[in-house]
Homo-oligomer: A and B are copies of this chain.
């Protein structure tokens, strides 16, 4: 099945350079190794090779979620795949779930959540900065997830509008200020994930979580190490990412002696 107009293509040049492009009839994409003509692309299938105007080889691949994230339009720090995969598991996001994403940023986490909740689910994404909303909207539309996401241009200081959500992802500089509100929005047993880059932030969040009806709190960090793929000199690469973020996970509980203000808030 040949590649169609409007499809997004992950182009791998023979020198290893990679681009995420969108097929437009009659046009071309310009690289340092020559042009790729989209009309020629549309005669190919995914997986096939194509030649640039300079006769250099390139492969035509489908972009996946990892390529989408690394090549997306963005003006914010993103959640890296090394952490993203783990967070999605720990949040247990699955089809038909209703989840909240605070703050939206450039939309990477939002897109990942939207992908998982399926057609029957919904992602409520909060973002107070207008300029990020435009970027995120563009990205979500490119990936095809607009219908599953409800973007709210709102400061979460003013509260979350949903109740009984299955999971909540919180990525703001001062998460400790919003944990009661997160509690209110979650269903009983609902899952909370917070990312914070500094140790002091995590300590502040932990201090606050202790005073609220959350249980099973865990804090993790991940180190991913890549290896060179030369089989006769198999060894890790020389350098690696040392730190992206700490990841904090917890679950809402409903103790009988639950502090009354929270109880009321829930009703």
Q: Say yes or no for A85: interface residue by CB 8 A criterion.
A: yes
**A86: which of B82, B198, B202, B234 is its contact (CB, 8 Å)?**
B82
Judge whether A265 is part of the interface by a CB distance below 8 angstroms.
no
Contact between B255 and A231 (Cβ–Cβ < 8 Å)? no
In the complex, the answer to whether A86 meets B81 with C-beta atoms within 8 Å is yes
A49 neighbours in B (Cβ, 8 Å): 253-256
A259 to chain B, nearest CB (A): 14
Per the 8 Å Cβ criterion, residues 212-248 of A in contact with B are 215-243, 246
For A, the interface residue count at a CB cutoff of 8 angstroms equals 80
Q: Are A235 and B231 in contact (CB under 8 A)?
A: no
Picked from B60, B92, B222, B229, the residue with its CB within 8 Å of the CB of A222 is: B222
Whose C-beta in chain B lies nearest to the C-beta of A49?
A: B255
- A118 to chain B: closest CB distance in Å? 6
Asked if B59 and A215 make an inter-chain contact with CB atoms under 8 angstroms apart, the answer reads yes
Name the B residues within 8 Å of A224 (CB-CB).
Answer: 86, 220-223
Q: Tell which of A31-39, A127-135, A185-193 binds the partner.
A: A185-193
B118 engages A92 (CB within 8 Å): no
Binds B, one of A19-27, A61-69, A99-107, A153-161: A61-69
B residues in contact with A59, CB < 8 Å: 215, 253
A-B contact pairs, 20 of them (CB 8 A): A47-B188, A49-B253, A49-B254, A61-B216, A64-B89, A64-B191, A198-B232, A198-B233, A198-B235, A200-B232, A202-B227, A206-B230, A206-B234, A207-B231, A220-B225, A221-B227, A236-B243, A238-B241, A238-B242, A239-B242
